[in-house]
Amino acid sequence: MRIHYAFLLPLSLGCLAEATAQVKLKSDYPIQPVAFTQVKVNDNFWAPKIRTNAEVTIPYTLDQCKRTGRIDNFLVAAGKKKAEKLTEYTFDDTDLYKIIEGASYGLQVKKNPGLERYLDTLINIIGDAQEPDGYLYTFRTAKMEKPHDWVGSKRWEKEEDLSHELYNSGHLFEAAVAHYQATGKKSLLNIATKNADLLVKTFGPGKEEKFPGHQIVETGLTKLYRVTGKKEYLDLAKFFLDLRGTPGHLNHEYSQAHKKVVDQHEAVGHAVRATYMYTGMADVAALNGDKQYLAAIDDIWNDVVYKKMYITGGIGATGNGEAFGQAYDLPNMSAYAETCAAIANVYWNSRMFLLHGDAKYIDVMERTLYNGLLSGVSLSGDRFFYPNPLASMGQHQRSAWFGCACCISNMTRFLPSMPGYVYAQNKNDLYVNLFVGSESSIQLPAGKLNIVQTTDYPWNGKNEITVNTEKNFTFGLHIRIPGWATGQPVPGDLYSEANTNTAPLTILLNGQPVKYEKQKGYAVINRTWKKGDKISFELPMDIQKLSANNQVKADRSRFALQRGPIVYCLEGADNKDAVVMNVVVDKNAPIEAVYKPQLLNGVMTLNMKGSSTKRQLNTAELLKTTQDVTAIPYYSWANRGPGEMQVWIPFEESAARPMPAPTIASRSKVSASIKNPRMLKGLNDQYDPQDSRDASAVYLHWWPKKNTLEYVQYDFESAETVSETSVYWFDDAPFGGCRIPASWKVLYRKGEEWVPVTVITADSISKDKYNTIRFQPVKTNGLKIEIQQPAEHSTGLHEWIVK
């Protein structure tokens, strides 16, 4: 049965105030965010995106949860439905929790009785699946005949590895707090506290001594602690953290369990798990004053920002373990930069700011927010990226859904809460962290004020802040001066700008220049404010050409474009021949910014002159032509279908990839025993891999099939005389599933038959180089390769050349 979602559209412009206040705590972050319920965003950039999330993404993802069986998981666990199997992953329960969290955030901003009733229905379904003692994990409770491989024979047995029981609990807790604060109802909160009480009863010294394999329960527990005041929740969060790296437990970097958390000083392993853990450590440190936690996450932050972060704010460079790579190893086309990791990076940097009050954390947060996070969802709100690469040859495209849908549901819950990152307060100090057109109501100890931001940011640097106080009172207004506005795109030297802007920012108060102090990246104005006071300033929107540290091999002889907080990319749809890999732009080329209201929902484009190169047959000399080059905001790419894209633009021809020459192979129709158009494109794209493991460009593979006979085939445009063919095998040993083949042979089409060629010489089968077979010349209109895969592995191909 289809769910009807008309009720999900906003029914009121009124703001539903938080139904509850959190418990008064002895210790917490010295700086507190101004709740997003107090910030009404009304600009032309974020307001439409938040609205699309409410009107499209939330209904869409709820429908997908029904279609894909995620809601059925709970019904089966409750004994209300029968099924032979559940969904694919043991953490699929969290997709429903995260969407409820996002929908609840939406309810805090706009009343929606229909949505609230539907959430009540879902919460009843969740409650029915909870066991009497509070245990809630559908993959065990459902008691399937063939349990999932990640489910142990008893509770928590595989928790430190893959079961995700505590991960599920963490997202349940976060959703419950959001729902309670939105509606005042304790229905989901009671389910969550019952589960949390079970965890307190089960885990601890002398009890179950296991830590979560995937971190989130720690931040969930601290949120429950803030709402309930139950200190045992905070103590359990610290117990889980302190157990990592101790003897007798799984000891690997993948889940940050290789050392005690206080002894970790570099970011390693799965990037989402890691960043959730650092966020949890910040929460616990704020709530109990643990200085060792602070020292560790300070060092880890430096490691990430100085050595392991993409210019887009993306983190987690490698798909091997969805993990942080080595220092400065930041490949572009194979960049993983998972959407979930970008969201976690925002959470973490927000916490670091709340601890330290330094604008550098907001600089990183803003970079991530406008680029590597926002790229994760399409402009239409119903197509998504899991990884967010910084270059593509057309193999990347947004998907309608993923079997592992964590990034989709994470985006759904994040966007409604975005207004909560605009302001923060510390006693009578008010921080303006983000420049977003909005109206906010804020209570400081000295008095209440209404603050209005008027801006066309990020396209325009002009900003006007109107302060309306109920009475005249004194407070400090801290306005962030972005690092990019002073020539420092990020803290440290990972990325830099040649033309550093050292001019101080001019700030006007009621039309007259006002003196301010600079403190930790903020312009601080302390004064007695009165109703109608206006602050105005203009951030410099110069177009910046950024360079990467020379140790970042992938970005040598290239620059990236940034204007304001927005990182740009070249996309095929805007450029000659729909290709951009062959583009070269001089470092000194002038660039013009042009706003195009009809393009990609309205974006500022960057236009410049450049050149492009093209290979020719039978010569190494390249054809070079001049052309117009257009760049668009990175977040907006891949909204017009698959195509080429790159963020880092070559300024030397040696860094560019010339457009392929029209060879027999490139003109052929490609087919294979696997039907995947994107992979087929890789066979004749003339991309020479660095080695057999190179996963940066398009390649073809048959994983997970093993020990099978497969084929690839070229149908020529017309009959050709050929006598030689070469292949470059894809082999991702030792961690991947592909190896060089057991054997391969070449056949040609003769009439209606495929006939083996007469081999003259054949290279041995080996990786990291082209393997060539020379044969007696044949005139044919088609060539085929038959490949016998190894007994225990699959095989793949990077490139297939015909001569």
The 3-class secondary structure across 467-486, one letter per residue, is EEECCCEEEEEEEECCHHHH
**pLDDT recorded at residue 660:** 83
Q: Do 567 and 502 share a structural domain?
A: no
What are 63's two structure tokens?
């429908």
In the chain, which residues have pLDDT < 50?
A: 1-21
The pLDDT tens digits of the residues spanning 325-376 come to 999 999 999 999 999 999 999 999 999 999 999 999 999 999 999 999 999 9
**pLDDT recorded at residue 338:** 97
Q: Do 440 and 499 share a structural domain?
A: yes
Q: What would you measure as the largest C-alpha separation in the chain, in angstroms?
A: 94
Domain boundary among 199, 233, 251: 199
Domain membership flag for residue 228: no
Q: Which positions ≥6 away from 519 have C-beta within 8 Å?
A: 478
Q: How far apart are the first and last CA of the chain?
A: 57
Domain membership flag for residue 208: no
* 293 vs 280: CA distance, rounded Å: 10
Q: Do 691 and 562 share a structural domain?
A: no
**pLDDT recorded at residue 2:** 32
Residue type, 122: L
DSSP code at position 81: S
Helices (H), 627-748: 677-681
* 96 vs 113: CA distance, rounded Å: 19
Q: Which positions ≥6 away from 675 have C-beta within 8 Å?
A: none
Which uninterrupted H or E stretch holds 726?
strand 709-730
Domain membership flag for residue 525: yes
Q: Do 735 and 638 share a structural domain?
A: no
* 588 vs 543: CA distance, rounded Å: 12
**pLDDT recorded at residue 697:** 81
Domain membership flag for residue 1: no
Domain membership flag for residue 244: no
Q: Do 734 and 647 share a structural domain?
A: no
**pLDDT recorded at residue 661:** 85
Q: What are phi and psi of 490, to 5 degrees?
A: -140, 155
Residue type, 147: P
Q: Do 96 and 158 share a structural domain?
A: yes
Q: Do 732 and 678 share a structural domain?
A: yes
Q: Do 765 and 727 share a structural domain?
A: yes
Domain membership flag for residue 4: no
CB atoms within 10 A of CB 769: 12
Residue type, 221: L
Q: What are phi and psi of 578, to 5 degrees?
A: 60, 30
Instruction: With CA atoms as reference, report the closest residue to 631 among 613, 651, 612, 610.
Output: 610
In which domain, by residue range, is 131 found? 41-199
Provide the number of structural domains found in the chain. 5
What are 44's two structure tokens?
């032309």
pTM for the whole thing? 0.92
* 145 vs 154: CA distance, rounded Å: 15
* 261 vs 244: CA distance, rounded Å: 7
Domain membership flag for residue 227: no
Domain boundary among 199, 234, 250: 199
Q: Do 673 and 621 share a structural domain?
A: no
Nearest 5°: the CA angle 292, 295, 298 is 145
Q: What is the DSSP string of 397-449?
A: --BS--SS-HHHHHHHHHGGGGGGGSEEEETTEEEE-S---EEEEEEETTEEE
| CATH code (residue 733) | 2.60.120.260
Q: Do 185 and 80 share a structural domain?
A: yes
Q: Do 75 and 140 share a structural domain?
A: yes
Domain membership flag for residue 662: no
**Tokens 């206006």 map to which residue?**
534
Instruction: With CA atoms as reference, report the closest residue to 519 among 429, 598, 402, 636.
Output: 429
Q: Do 499 and 529 share a structural domain?
A: yes
What are 255's two structure tokens?
């889940």
